[in-house]
Amino acid sequence: DHVTNTATQIQIMAALGAGHPSFAHHSLLTGPQGEALSKRLGTLSLRDLRAAGIAPMALLSLMARLGSSQPVVLAGSLEELADGFDLSQFGSAPTKFDENDLYPLTARILQETPLAVVAGEIAALGVPDALAADFWNVARANITTKADLAPWWALFRDGAAPAVEAEDREFIMQAFGMLPDPPYDGETWANWTNAVKEATGRKGKTLFMPLRKAVTGQDKGPEMADVMRLLQKKPTL
């Protein structure tokens, strides 16, 4: 919708005694429901996206393919983006932009990020140096943005509010009574659940899910063997 502006821009450049670049126009971007995107709304500024934790390369990778017939591929560098950019693949029909598409891309970038890149931010959370590598290896597969790191460290450091169904309360109390005090290691979860299985007769999902929810307050997340290894306090009701 800005094609008509280009003639004026060329005239201004000519009046200033300058040449002009070759122009290409992206299709009109709309919101997820086809609504207009307005810079005056201020909801999609780079500042806002940065504050929301969106990784720069996630945004660039999406914008380099949005409106084209090519699938979005997470690029590792600007050079890689440029090499795969083909104007002939773009159409003229309005294209829907959904900022929520940026979060899975950001999560994938974090999953591939080495500890050295985030070591300062992890240290700032209060994670001891001896636990930093283990913490990052566990957390990065379970976060969407870096802001999610703080809640995970709080869980490992202080424990979680247990999520326990009424019918599981006695079982959890018995199981917690069989769990020794920390420190825990990579074998703690297996040893503990085997002992609880023998004592209670529970097995499978009826054994593992109530224990996961009681320890972490969640019904999904990292491998429990990894969770136990990072726990600093014994779980309690």
Give the model confidence (pLDDT) of 78-99 as tens digits.
999 999 898 899 988 899 999 9
pTM for this one? 0.83
Same domain, 193 and 169: yes
- Do 221 and 136 belong to one domain? no
Is 223 within the bounds of a domain? yes
Q: What is the largest CA-CA distance in the chain?
A: 88
The confidence band for 39, taking pLDDT boundaries of 50, 70 and 90, is: low
164-179 residue pLDDT tens: 999 999 999 999 999 9
Domain assignment present for 146 = yes
Structural domain that includes position 196: 159-230
Judge if 27 and 39 occupy the same domain. Answer: yes
**Whether 19 and 82 share a structural domain:** yes
Give yes or no: residues 74 and 145 share one domain.
no
36-43, Cβ contacts within 8 angstroms, sequence gap of 24 or more: 37/97
The tally of domains found in the chain comes to: 3
Question: Does 50 share its domain with 90?
Answer: yes
Residues 145 and 90 in one domain: no
Query: Are 118 and 102 contained in the same domain?
Result: no
Question: Closest Cα partner for 156 from 229, 66, 72, 64?
Answer: 229
Report yes or no on 236 lying in a domain. no
- Closest by CA position to 155, among listed 144, 143, 145: 143
Tokens of 184: 């825990």
Same domain, 66 and 40: yes
